[in-house]
Structure 1
């Protein structure tokens, strides 16, 4: 087999004769009959020099999206759809129901009088309330009424249903780790026999047990997920205000806090890092990038998000995504509050998370 070298700007590169290449291709075909494949032909695409997510920066203007949610209500009921959700699909990943390669995001709408029937699944879910007041979610037999800015958790394999007893539609952001679960071939789901799972605990029971820096003396940790499945916005917003008076601004994040499990001190969810941040009026963050693709939901305020080479104007109820390893900055025209979630916690557990602050 004849192999020679040629000179390039990178040094000597092997070149192969036509006869040798034909021999190699014949070998590859024979190897395929034994379900074998040559790593050397695909190595650089598998072990890349830098992250390649396929996702691109994208922004969903709520004023533009909201009419589609309303039209969906005219076209399909909660009985037919089970969950009436419009997926926030990354334009770089069409047809995959992904906002990043590992994350799902969608906007769910439920009308007055409707019930989204009870089911459970291995994938963990979060809800961040975007519009409306007074609908409820029930998780593992306990109900909580939801308001704009509330962060609500559905832990893995827990029965949950939603209902709207108010007189206006409710809209929330759904975030799930389903793509991670599916990569691991670990997905299960099950419908409940009735429309609603029985309520077996008083409202606020989980907060009474674990929400006051106290625990019952015989408390047993049952899950890595926080026992507090509802984090009210009024509490989170007050915490941000207090933080802004107690600490200096972070140059990349302004004032940012992560939701935690009060029992373990770890993340509120074992597979999703969830956070809320305050960017004061007139403040511009320094560039920041990390390997964690991140989804943002704007609660208050207006400003600019520059993600890579793309600039978005954002306002309340808007959503945007920052893909892995893409630098971004935020500029607030007025005090802005943003909720976010990412796969950072998974990467940290695997010791693969990286970040760069500033222009490094």
Structure 2
């Protein structure tokens, strides 16, 4: 191609730019790459380094003032986007003894994974549940929810959990709404444990006909999850890539517990050295127990209990467990499955 052709094309590009157009052929390989080119990178947050900042935040602002006292975990490659992956948000929230985080609701779906402390509560759509470390708790889209903590005299202690929301996804669709409740705490209409009794025992009310895409169970207690993992670890073969890994489901449908966010729990036996895999669903991990390491796109990260790390889309990942490890994780897998774009690769070596 000669200089004259270059000049003619450049002139053409300038003229169409005035009409908010550009030539696809100049960007085709970027828009339709041979494999995912995730804007995010692998990263690990060490809890022991973050914990003092949460304590300091507790001194700086009350939960009521802040609405939600949260330190947002931003992927280092997309700072300013309030995102840990391109589709998901994550943050560490703390509520102190005697505090209330006021009731509100929003279009975004949320999960809570309890990292530290016990005895605080979250109330969702008229029912409370007490939080214990390792519990997986759901706040469905557009449901009233508030959080609270007993006073120190009543045995309250600081409670910290990992928030996971589909904020970037909802923002992409331009579908975000929010509303504050007229009182700090919503009225309770059901006793604690009612949802788990109705829907969490492989039973459903006889005339129950709901087909909600979000699970009617909003607290999956860690004690039950851990019992399942321990039983399967003793009785089943350990998967060479995942150890023993289970997914949280909606008992009405057998599908994902949330329509936009998948949640998982897995256990890696002591000495586990996993094979490498890749998934298109970028995934956020929270270490419940144990010490080990994860290799993400060739970079090794040492982890311990309560650390958080993120694996980008299509990054090569493998685990090594120095001691028995339990990992909670979440991703946008339900959306990718629904769109037919999820892809996985399991390497053998």
Normalising by structure 2, report the TM-score. Answer: 0.96
Shift of 1:38: 1.5
Which one is further off, 19-28 or 189-198?
19-28
Verify the 8 A CA contact 2:41 2:76 in the aligned structure 1: yes
Match of 1:182 among 167, 171, 181: 171
Q: Distance in 2 between matches of 1:167 and 1:178?
A: 30
Q: Does 1:316 align with 2:302?
A: no
Match of 2:109 among 124, 128, 136: 124
Shift of 1:309: 2.0
Aligned to 2:315: 326
Match of 1:294 among 283, 299, 322: 283
Aligned to 2:261: 272
Aligned to 1:195: 184
Q: Does 1:232 align with 2:217?
A: no
Q: Does 1:64 align with 2:53?
A: no
SS of equivalent to 1:133: coil
Equivalent residue runs for 1:117-266 within 5 Å: 117-165=102-150, 166-221=155-210, 223-266=212-255
Q: Which has the higher strand share?
A: 1
Verify the 8 A CA contact 2:64 2:99 in the aligned structure 1: no
Shift of 1:77: 1.6
Q: Distance in 2 between matches of 1:45 and 1:35?
A: 19
Match of 1:39 among 24, 28, 33: 24
Which one is further off, 215-224 or 26-35?
26-35
Q: Does 1:335 align with 2:324?
A: yes
Larger radius of gyration: 1
Q: Distance in 2 between matches of 1:153 and 1:71?
A: 27
Q: Distance in 2 between matches of 1:91 and 1:35?
A: 31
Q: Does 1:74 align with 2:59?
A: yes
Q: Distance in 1 between matches of 2:31 and 2:113?
A: 35
SS of equivalent to 1:208: helix
Verify the 8 A CA contact 2:120 2:156 in the aligned structure 1: no
Q: What is the number of residues matched between the two proteins?
A: 345
Deviation per CA, 1:180-218: give whole Å up to 9, x if none: 111111111111111111111111111122111111122
Shift of 1:260: 0.5
Match of 2:35 among 28, 43, 50: 50
Match of 2:338 among 344, 349, 353: 349
Q: Distance in 2 between matches of 1:341 and 1:168?
A: 27
Aligned to 1:89: 74
Aligned to 2:94: 109
Q: Distance in 1 between matches of 2:114 and 2:218?
A: 14
Aligned to 2:8: 23
SS of equivalent to 1:262: coil
Give unmatched runs, 5+ long, in structure 1: 1-14
Q: Distance in 2 between matches of 1:332 and 1:24?
A: 57
Which one is further off, 55-64 or 36-45?
36-45
Shift of 1:225: 0.5
Runs of 4+ in 1 over 4 A off after TM superposition: none
Q: Distance in 2 between matches of 1:74 and 1:27?
A: 59
Q: Distance in 2 between matches of 1:72 and 1:101?
A: 26
Which one is further off, 24-33 or 151-160?
24-33
CA RMSD in angstroms, aligned pairs only: 1.2
Give unmatched runs, 5+ long, in structure 2: none
Normalising by structure 1, report the TM-score. Answer: 0.93
Shift of 1:246: 2.6
Shift of 1:313: 1.3
Verify the 8 A CA contact 2:40 2:75 in the aligned structure 1: yes
Q: Distance in 2 between matches of 1:71 and 1:114?
A: 16
